[in-house]
């Protein structure tokens, strides 16, 4: 039973445009959400997070939106750059106390120059 799902395995976007990556979850106990970026042959690197008490968190070109009632979150990257091409994983935790992360299956983003 996948508790965190990323239904789009891949996404292609033109440089300068907005990239929107989506993530759905089923476990109502999740209250902390994270996005990771992963290049081939490297480990995931943390991008941005959001607590369930918020519905938006912004950091530079990256914004995460959380819709708790829909159990849905999204990552917006604007403007997209070729260096953003990577696999993006959303992850969830039942609290922000260093507990285990539950990951989605990932979305491969390709930003075309």
Partner 1 sequence: NAGVMQNPRHLVRRRGQEARLRCSPMKGHSHVYWYRQLPEEGLKFMVYLQKENIIDESGMPKERFSAEFPKEGPSILRIQQVVRGDSAAYFCASSPTSGGADEQFFGPGTRLTVL
| Closest to partner 1 by CB, 44 or 84 | 44
Q: Does 1 bind partner 1 (CB under 8 A)?
A: no
Q: How many residues bind partner 1 (CB under 8 A)?
A: 27
| Closest to partner 1 by CB, 30 or 85 | 30
What does DSSP assign to residue 40? T
Whole-angstrom distance, CA of residue 6 vs CA of residue 79: 22
Residues whose CB falls within 8 Å of the CB of residue 97, separated by 6 or more in sequence, listed in order: none
Whole-angstrom distance, CA of residue 97 vs CA of residue 78: 30
Q: Does 7 bind partner 1 (CB under 8 A)?
A: no
| Closest to partner 1 by CB, 12 or 96 | 96
Q: Does 32 bind partner 1 (CB under 8 A)?
A: yes
Whole-angstrom distance, CA of residue 85 vs CA of residue 25: 24
Q: Which positions touch partner 1 (CB under 8 A)?
A: 4, 6, 32, 34, 36, 41-46, 49, 89, 91, 93, 95-106
């Amino acid at each position: 039973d996948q508790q965190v799902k990323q239904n789009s395995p891949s996404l292609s976007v033109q440089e300068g445009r907005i990239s929107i990556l989506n993530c759905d979850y089923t476990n109502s106990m999740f209250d902390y959400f994270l996005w990771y970026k992963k290049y081939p042959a490297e480990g995931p690197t943390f991008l941005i997070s959001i607590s369930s008490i918020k519905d938006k968190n912004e950091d530079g070109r990256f914004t995460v939106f959380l819709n708790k009632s829909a159990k849905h979150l999204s990552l917006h990257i604007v403007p997209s750059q070729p260096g953003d091409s990577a696999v993006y994983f959303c992850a969830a935790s039942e609290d922000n106390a260093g507990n285990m992360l539950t990951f989605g299956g990932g979305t491969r983003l390709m930003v075309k120059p």
